[in-house]
Structure formats: structure tokens, C-alpha cells
Structure 1
């Protein structure tokens, strides 16, 4: 993991942007999915920490757009565009979506796999290619993205740190 640069932190159901030489990090990716949208030529990246697949699941009146795959990816794209990023230059790297608990075949509990499916559906809708992913499994992850090198560092308890 990068240590010299400033680290922009993204909380659960949160999003933010980092520009080189900053890096951007989120922790606690269990069933949640970390979505990194970046422009390698401008060396800028946005990260959204998706908790749930669909904003229809949000019953409250004040919707946290970063919490859901459908609203979070859209909001992140708008934020990147406001920073001068051209939509056709955006690529994605995703990580998370673990099945943290085994409950048989109850589909409502399959939040991790459903989050991954929803993220992929939204990225496809916006024609954003997924360059790399580390999804599924049963381990939580911490991810950190470096916009300067377009490297996503993924740390898990049982597998150490890998780069994609």
C-alpha cells in the first residue's frame, strides 16, 4: 500500500475523488463492493462503497446515493464529469461482494453476489469497461487505488495484499 501520498478515505456507503499524487482507500468491504472509476490519462479516480444493489431498497425519504449500485455509480460519473473527465475515457476496477455468511439458498441474504451483479449491470449500462475485479469469496477486503499508476491494491486477512 502506498504510504507517502495523502490518502483520501471513503467510508461505508460513501464516495470521494482522488487526484494523483493522492490515493483513495476504503475498508470493510464484506458483502459491499468498492467501485473505482478512473481516467488514467488525467490521473483521477472516484471510489464508491456500494452497500446494496438497488435504491428501491432504500425506504427513507433522504436517499444516500452512495449506498446503492444504481444511484452511486451514476453520482460518481457526474462527479468525475464535473472534474473534466470525459465519460468515454473512464474505466472501472471492482472488488468485494463476498458472501460473508452461509444461510442456505435464501436469495435475500445473497447481498454480496447481488451487489456484484448490480454494479456490473450499471457499468454496462454506461458502457464502462471493467479492467479488473476481485469479487466473491468469503473474505473481507480493504482496497486502495493509486490514480498515478491505475493500480488497485487489495488486502485480505488470509491472502495478504495483491495488485490488480
Structure 2
């Protein structure tokens, strides 16, 4: 059995025990991991956009911070995680392209990070560690067994949070 579970763009997956959640190519997108360390259960989401309320074509609820995190939480709660012991780690939210216009609305990475943080705060889930913003892409792997988030970036190397 493959212990690696890939999470695609605008998607989330839940895993446990010896399984490892992986998402590739986080640029302006944000990877959100919510986990219960005592039960070794975790969910990972690959968030593309901050809010489903800002987009007309919002049928894929897994694209957005405000809706994807809720969907993932529903699945985690069905697995009997302890809501009070949930923690989060986040990575991504880079500004991948130089923008000549001086406007924050074009910095999707920063807006994604803010939306994810606001959503987690509203759910009373503390962010234990983060590697966000900057101008470099990331690939992340979360080990459900030891709760380590491995972050690999081209030109920046690899580290664990």
C-alpha cells in the first residue's frame, strides 16, 4: 500500500497513521494542514483563492479558503478528532510574478495567507508553524505519524517545521 497521498490543486485529502500527505507546486496557493497529534489524523488542503464570495464560478468549493477548510473540517470531525486539540501548519502564498501595478488585490498569495489565517482563527485552530509569502514555490509533505511538515523549495533547499 502506498503511504503517500497526493493532494491536487483545489483539493483536500485526509490521512492517518503512517500516511504522508503531499502537495506539489505551491506558488500563490496555500497548503493548509489541520491535525490531531494524539490520534495521528490530518487533513491537507491546496487552497487556490481566498474567497468563494468574490468569484462567480465558485462551484468547486475546494478552490477557496472559506469553503475548502470547512469541507475538510467536516471530514476530520467524522473521524472523531478532538476539535479542541486540533492544530495547523501552513505554507505557500508566494508572489510568483513581479507586478508593476502597486495594488494589493493582485497579490493573490498574500490574500490567500490572510484568508487562511482568518478562517483558522474563526475555528479556534492555532497555527503552530508557517512558511509563507516570499517569491518562491514550495512542495510540502506532512507525516501524520510525527506531524512534521517537510518543505522543499527550488533555490531555498529543504527544511522541516
Q: Give the TM bin, normalised by the shorter chain.
A: over 0.9
Q: How does 1:47-58 map to 2 (within 5 A)?
A: 47-58=44-55
Paired with 1:101 and 1:12, the residues of 2 have a C-alpha distance of 19
Task: Kindly indicate whether the alpha-carbon contact (under 8 Å) linking 1:5 and 1:21 is maintained by their aligned counterparts in 2.
Answer: no
**How many pairs were matched up?**
160
Distance 1:8 1:36 in 2: 13
Matched, 1:66 2:58: no
Report what 1:12 is aligned to: 9
Aligned to 2:89: 93
2:146 paired residue among 146, 149, 160: 149
Please list every run of 5 or more consecutive structure 2 residues that lacks an aligned counterpart in the other structure: none
RMSD, matched Cα: 1.3
The CA deviation string for residues 12-43 of structure 1, in whole angstroms up to 9 with x for no partner, is 00000111111000011000000000000000
Normalising by structure 2, report the TM-score.
0.95
Q: Does 1:123 align with 2:120?
A: yes
- Does the Cα contact within 8 Å between 1:16 and 1:48 map onto a contact in 2? yes
| 4+ residue runs over 6 A deviation | none
Residue 93 of structure 1 and its aligned partner are, at CA, apart by 0.1
**TM-score, normalised via structure 1 length:** 0.94
Specify the SS of the correspondent of 1:115: helix
Distance 1:152 1:45 in 2: 11
- Whole-angstrom distance in 1 between the partners of 2:146 and 2:156: 22
Q: Unpaired runs of 5+ in structure 1?
A: none
Name the counterpart of 1:21: 18
Cα distance, 1:5 vs. partner?
A: 6.2
**What is the CA-CA distance between 1:57 and the residue it aligns to?**
2.7
Residue 48 of structure 1 aligns to a residue whose secondary structure is strand
